Amino acid sequence: MDILGVVATALWAMLPAYVPNNAAVLAGGGRPIDGGRTMGGRRVLGDGKTWRGTLAGTLAGTALALALSAVTPTVSDVVGYSLPRFPLLAGLGLAFGAMLGDIGASFVKRRSGRERGAAFPGLDQLDFVVGALLCAFVLAPSWFARTFTLPVVVAILLVTPLLHVVTNGIAYLLGLKNEPW
């Protein structure tokens, strides 16, 4: 597969993981997952990680995976590359894993003394990727092995930080985020 095919596959395969955190922001609010609890004098996660946002993000990413599967043959013909379909468990793993990765990053940020919204370069851009890939591997291992070849994973690790910065900048300009990272 040439480089354009690798990038197309990487972006397509990660779409169900790219959407959940944005959906969580839009649906946010509600009860914090940590219930206000603290650890070492700091919140465990903070008010930004809610049950409603986690559920909304997971559902949005999973629904997107199912919708993408329905149009995969047509899109594959249009772009000229064979793109992967998403079994339900793969879509669920990508979406829920993205949410878990973000929740894990929040935990690490609180332990390191960072407040909600504070930048943590590297972690902010790749937390959800690690969570999504791990959960997809656990829930759909054969699909994962066929889809996430080494070149595709490298493309994801290179393209995702750029996409993250651009989309967060847009959300900030639109007033959907309080900080541009």
Rounded mean pLDDT, 76-87: 96
The token pair at 134 is 């791990």
Share of the chain above pLDDT 90, in %: 56
Supply the mean pLDDT for the chain. Answer: 89
Decide which of 75 and 180 is more confident. Answer: 75
pLDDT of residue 148: 98
Residue 66 has pLDDT above 80, yes or no: yes
Task: Give the bridge partners for 38, in sequence order.
Answer: 43
pLDDT band for position 119 (50/70/90)?
low
25 against 119, higher pLDDT = 25
pLDDT band per the 50, 70, 90 thresholds, residue 123: low
pLDDT grade for 122, boundaries at 50, 70 and 90: low
In this prediction, residue 21 carries a pLDDT of 85
| HEC letters along 2-41 | CHHHHHHHHHHHHHHHHCHHHHHHHHCCCCECCCCCEECC
**CB neighbours of 119 closer than 8 A, spacing ≥ 6?**
179, 181
Distance, CA of 139 to CA of 17 (rounded, Å): 14
